[in-house]
Amino acid sequence: MPDVDTGHRITGTVNGAAYDEVVDDRMTLADFLREKLRLTGTHLGCEHGVCGACTVIVDGAASRSCLMLAVQADGTAIETVEGLAEDGELNRLQAAFKKNHALQCGFCTSGFLMSVTAAMREGAIRDEGHAREVLSGNICRCTGYTGLVKAVLEAGE
Amino acid sequence: MTTMIGTSVPRREDERLLTGRGRYLDDLDLPDALAAAFLRSSNAHARILRIDLSAAKELPGVIAVFSGADLAEIQKPLAPKVLHPQLKDFPRLPMPPEELHYVGEPVAVVIAETRYIAEDALELIDVDYEVLPAVASTAAALEPDGPLAHSDAESNVAVLLTQSAGNTAEALRTAPNRLSEEFFVMRGGGHSMEPRAVAARYEPATGQLTIWDTTQSPHYARQQLSVIYEMAEDDIRVIAPPDVGGGFGPKAQFYGEEVVIPWVAKKLRRPVKWVEDRQENFVSAMMERSQTHRIEVGFDDDGMLLAVKDVIEHDQGAYCAGLQVPSITTATVPGPYRIPNIEIELRACYTNMVPTSSVRGAGRPQAVFAMERMMDRVAEHLGLDPAEVRFRNLIQADEFPYKVGITFRDGSPLTYDSGDFPRLLEGTLDRLGYAEARAEQAKLRAEGRYIGIGIAAYVEGCGLGPYEGAKVRLTNTGRVLVTLAAAGQGQGYETVYAQIASDGLGIAMDHIDVLTGDTSRIPFGQGTFASRITATAGPAVLDAAQQMRVRLVDTAANLLGCDPAEVGFTGDRACLNGDLEKSLSLLEIARVANIGKHGITLPVGISAGLETSSYFAPERAAYASGAHAAMVEVDPETGGIEILKYVIGHDCGNVINPKLVDGQVLGGFAHGLGNAMYEEAAYDAEGQPQATSYLDYSLVSAAEVPNVELFHIHSPSPLNPLGVKGAGEGGTIPAPATIANAVEDALRPLGARVNRAPVTPARIVEAIHGDEQALAEVRGS
Amino acid sequence: MKPGRFTYHAPRELGEALELLQEFGDDAKVLAGGQSLMPMLNFRLARVDHLIDINRLGGHLGEPRFDAGTITIPALVRQRQLERSEEAARVLPVLTEALRQVAHPQIRNRGTICGSLAHADPAAELPSVLSVLDATFTLVSARGTRTVAAADFFLFHLTTVLEPDEILLEVSVRRPPPNQFSAFQEFATRRGDFALAGVAALCEVDGDGVVTECRIAAAGVAPVPQRLHAVEGLVTGSRLGETSASEIADAARAEVEPTTDIHASATYRSRLTGVLVNRALVDIRTKQEAAHA
């Protein structure tokens, strides 16, 4: 239930689908996606911008959804992990994650997928050093990153 | 049919996790659940004089606020997980009404429409504390006439325990060489990316509580709650959600929040959900902190160990949530070496910091740090090569089972079941290119660069009892269901146990499902911790599956009119000599043996109800082992460390899914690297936590973790039919020792000593320059 | 970690924003990138009754201006935007170098240059860079506009001369002459972390290879970016590389008085500053010699 004393109407798209919702002043974008739109693939690991589990793409830029307010999403196009699969099939990056055992508990995975997706749009992944740099903005506590590096190199050619 | 055990089967879990369809606790559809937030003590040691909840209760959107005194009926001690008869134990209450003993301890709980409002209400709670002196280190804890962590205590000692074999005092006295040193190891928290969470719903019509909990030990939680709530165990259902975002130890413990939330849900007759945030996780999730090891070794001129004495000062925190960490440390010190005289004295101390409990590695990294640093010092003292000194002392492959002479944390004599320590260390050093690395080191040293090589070997007790179980049932849809009590947090149980069941059943994995972590589905279980599940649940699944195969084959043979020896499985069909024309599907078998025909006598020879179960109780712990080696370069101006090469040799016996095991070892290594160089749970002298966000507490990213060369040898365990051991912690355990050995080796020309973990750039520079700070800090916290 | 209540405003015009700040000033904060403010709100370390989101002010506030004599960075220029600007890399390389060290791309996508300056974290990279560039800060409020020199803008930890009703509208720097060479060096625990210490340095070198102007600013060793005037004095008037590294390191160490915290001691930070100053000067010398070749 929102704090209903002030309501802001926000419209925009998430994964290409339009939404039209009312949010209060302080609801974060992460909570909006998870609670209002029930897109629970975006996760909260730290709520201060470091772990990256909440990373989504806003108007083409990878952003921490825990550091944005839902009201700020008005008029934007947001992409979340739920929008990556193509016709119900894992996309190239997701398939590379699976093949290379780039996930264990999966909690950080959505954030990694979105960060890497945004990075790959900027250009090919040059080498391992570049892959590690691209990955360095997200934290994984399970895998030790080896599988993630391999997946990014494979998909980012 | 191909054997599944030993195959790197891709994980079933991945599809949903990659597409954002994981079901972690906070994702579950509990639309009517109220949110909870805990007010936590801001003092390390304080009495509650007065607590005023009135303003908080009046905030619109707040449903209820409870202090500890308001929930007096559940303020019963949470039992330590591992005890000792001599343990001086102080009651750890779910939400103490009177005296608080660490920053972060729960004081009150707010239940509200949203978490936002609940946090608003926390700010309106008014508490008058009488602040009491706090103990913030083991040194302070052992100070005579110093402050007491518990005001009704006589001292801060939790327990003093000595384990010994042989006559260490005499052996040290007469040893040709003796060295002693003091090492300080500070570890940190588990920091699973998903913090803790608990949700609960009470059904008045049945008197049953359903609890969703990110716990690693659902049955343990249920048992504790059954006692505290005075409810029958079958009226409490604890479910670890299908997906849990990491555990690493802290979620295996049992916390006050797990008692408060379901109780409040029952009181209010409304579902309640508490999702820990990271700030809470930093201060109130259990962790490992400091141990000081004062270790002395006696050895001959060939570097043969004659005696090891280690006095361990261990920070147990505000309460003893269990003695597993220090008792594991004690048993891990001897490692893979033949040591005729051992004396290990443990001084576990209470402090006013969050209780200590296992974090990946569980007390072993500290022991390995002390022992492996000393091995390097022994080598230095004699002018011998550190690898050579280790080889001379290693237990040989033909000496198993090897009795060390002291007791392990599982209560059994410390007896290594299998292994090949020399082969493991050789393999590691070969892959490092040890001889070439030493030559390279000499060359670069001459150029004024600081290159070091570090080695560390260890033995890891794992696969602990008392038991773990599995049920296998042919469901009425014709699929085989394997049910484990164990709860996973990313280890791939849905895949791995389907592999084992497939081999046991002789039926392809496609027809097998795995269910985990629900106390209502299987009555008995222990939990995921101490790298134990593969070695306990694995054999249980294998046995239950093999039993089920017999049942299925017998039933099919009866219905097909043939001998059981002629029945095999193709897909989901039981076939006579491989002939699909003469076969029955699992569904058809289920219809006969499970569903039956209403009121009609069962066909002769058919047993009703196709379900089997098996509980495997290992005779004692199994012992995995490993050897790491690293080559590093240290920048003496900044103290920066670059890892040039890192090799991990690992032996966890037989392996069910090689790719997943590699993932465990490499993931563990990253954590160990964190302990080696980055993570420090710092508290000030008043017991105030100093690192309470990721801006101050560093978890390694992909940029900090080097590539690792990982290889395995396989010394199967004789203690279970699968020959498996544990794989979850081996990557972590020797990493701090390996890095510290390498850094000290690099700085040998400067005579700088590394006596502390984590080894940070600042401490390296201080050690080089002999700044007073460095010397003062060795004893500090 | 949910923020406390506040009233959110999203003005569309600068005038509107300034009026809101005039009305609510003491109880308001400006939200630009949010990468520093939102964590503080989530931790409830910062509390506001009114949040003035300036992201909708749009237009020219999001575009850097590269004029003949001046480069101007208005309030809504994102860190990543400038980091990827080829023109910025050519004209203000020290800024581009420093931007690459700031956190991670996901933070830099939304974080603004002016926002980082207004936040004034002592360990942040950008304040030291804009100090060494002798930037001019333009502050605007309903009461009018004023300019402040970099040396005067930063007061203390997280404190600048910005009044509650003011917005940092833009920062501008003189276009560097062709004989100016610069470097940024920092040492942090992990990639992207706040620096244990950082140094932004620039030198102008005449036709004989003599340093005619040297400016060095250190980050993370004082409550504000600290110009190392004693070191600057040592370097000015000589050729690059002429003054010994140990003399420079000693001067730098003597000039700074950092604090001890859980990450590093004051002694370490002082030593580190000396090391980084030398590395920056070596880098400058390399660039100068390459340009001369």
C-alpha–C-alpha distance, residues B212 and A139, integer Å: 26
C-alpha–C-alpha distance, residues B754 and B746, integer Å: 11
Q: With pLDDT > 90 as the criterion, what percentage of chain C qualifies?
A: 96
Neighbours of B413 (CB within 10 A): 13
What is the model's pLDDT at position A5?
53
Closest C-alpha among C251, C291, C242, C244 to residue C271: C251
Give domain A8-83's CATH number out of 1.10.10.60, 3.30.365.10, 3.10.20.30, 1.20.120.920. 3.10.20.30
What is the model's pLDDT at position B15?
97
Confidence of residue B774 (pLDDT cuts 50, 70, 90): very low
Query: Please, are residues C190 and C104 in contact by the beta-carbon 8 Å criterion?
Result: no
Chain A residues closer than 8 Å to C1 by CB: 47-48
8 Å CB contact of B638 and C187: yes
| Residue ranges of domains in chain A | 8-83, 92-155
Chain A residues closer than 8 Å to B670 by CB: 140-141, 143-145
8 Å CB contact of C6 and A26: yes
Q: Do residues B580 and B526 share a domain?
A: yes
Closest C-alpha among B239, B174, B178, B246 to residue B208: B239
What is the model's pLDDT at position B597?
87
Q: Do residues B555 and B657 share a domain?
A: no
Say which DSSP state B335 is in.
T
Q: Taking residues B245-255, report their average pLDDT.
A: 97
C-alpha–C-alpha distance, residues B532 and C78, integer Å: 50
Burial bucket for residue C153 (CB in 10 Å: 0-12, 13-18, 19+): buried
- Domain end position, chosen among B616, B633, B649: B616
Architecture of the domain whose range is C180-292:
2-Layer Sandwich (3.30)
Report residue B650 CA to chain centroid gap: 18
Give domain C59-174's CATH number out of 3.30.465.10, 3.30.70.60, 3.40.50.720, 3.30.1360.120. 3.30.465.10
Count CA within 13 A, CB hemisphere, residue B748.
Answer: 18
Structural domain containing residue B551? 468-616
Q: Do residues B669 and B767 share a domain?
A: yes
Chain C residues closer than 8 Å to A29 by CB: none
In DSSP terms, B683 is beta-bridged to: B689
HEC string of B544-591 equals HHHHHHHHHHHHHHHHHCCCHHHEEEECCEEEECCEEEEEEEHHHHHH
Report in angstroms the alpha-carbon separations of B235 from B90, B232, C2. Answer: 29, 5, 35
Give domain A92-155's CATH number out of 3.30.420.280, 1.10.150.120, 3.40.50.1820, 1.25.40.10. 1.10.150.120
CATH, residue B419: 3.30.365.10
User: Tens digits of per-residue pLDDT, C97-123?
Assistant: 999 999 999 999 999 999 999 999 999
C-alpha–C-alpha distance, residues B538 and B117, integer Å: 46
Q: Do residues B581 and B509 share a domain?
A: yes
Confidence of residue B772 (pLDDT cuts 50, 70, 90): low
Name the residue among C189, C264, C265 with its Cβ closest to that of B698. Answer: C189
Q: Do residues B641 and B590 share a domain?
A: no
- Domain end position, chosen among B616, B647, B670: B616
User: Tens digits of per-residue pLDDT, B375-420?
Assistant: 999 999 999 999 999 999 999 999 999 999 998 877 889 999 999 9
> What domain count does chain B have?
2
For all residues of chain B together, what is the average pLDDT? 95
Q: Taking residues B726-754, report their average pLDDT.
A: 96
What is the model's pLDDT at position B771?
64
C-alpha–C-alpha distance, residues C130 and C137, integer Å: 9
8 Å CB contact of B762 and C265: yes
Query: Does C191 contact chain B (CB < 8 Å)?
Result: yes
Q: Which of B186, B765, B781 to mutate to test the interface with C (most CBs of C within 10 A)?
A: B765
Kindly report the backbone phi and psi dihedral angles of residue B292, in degrees, each rounded to the nearest multiple of 5, phi listed first.
Answer: -110, 125
Coil/strand/helix, residue C61: helix
In DSSP terms, A19 is beta-bridged to: A12
Query: Does B99 contact chain C (CB < 8 Å)?
Result: no
pLDDT at B776 over 70: no
Query: Does B26 contact chain C (CB < 8 Å)?
Result: no
What is the model's pLDDT at position C292?
84
Confidence of residue B601 (pLDDT cuts 50, 70, 90): confident
What is the model's pLDDT at position B1?
73
**What residues of chain A, 39 to 98, have a C-beta less than 8 Å from chain C?**
47-49, 52, 55, 61-64, 66-69, 71-72
Query: Does A34 contact chain C (CB < 8 Å)?
Result: no
Residue of C nearest to B114 (CA): C2
Q: Do residues B560 and B677 share a domain?
A: no
3-state DSSP helix/strand/coil % of chain B, to nearest 5:
30, 25, 40
- Assigned CATH for C7-56: 3.30.43.10
Positions in chain A whose pLDDT score sits under 50: 1-4
Q: Do residues B637 and B654 share a domain?
A: yes
User: Tens digits of per-residue pLDDT, B192-227?
Assistant: 999 999 999 999 999 999 999 999 999 999 999 999
Confidence of residue B672 (pLDDT cuts 50, 70, 90): very high
Q: Taking residues B585-606, report their average pLDDT.
A: 89
One-letter amino acid at B120 equals D
Report residue B210 CA to chain centroid gap: 26
Does residue B87 lie within any of the structural domains?
Answer: no
Report in angstroms the alpha-carbon separations of B486 from B466, B497, B514. Answer: 13, 11, 11
| Residue ranges of domains in chain C | 7-56, 59-174, 180-292
Lowest model confidence (mean pLDDT) among B384-398, B519-533, B664-678: B519-533
pLDDT at C239 over 60: yes
C-alpha–C-alpha distance, residues B648 and B626, integer Å: 7
What is the model's pLDDT at position B465?
84
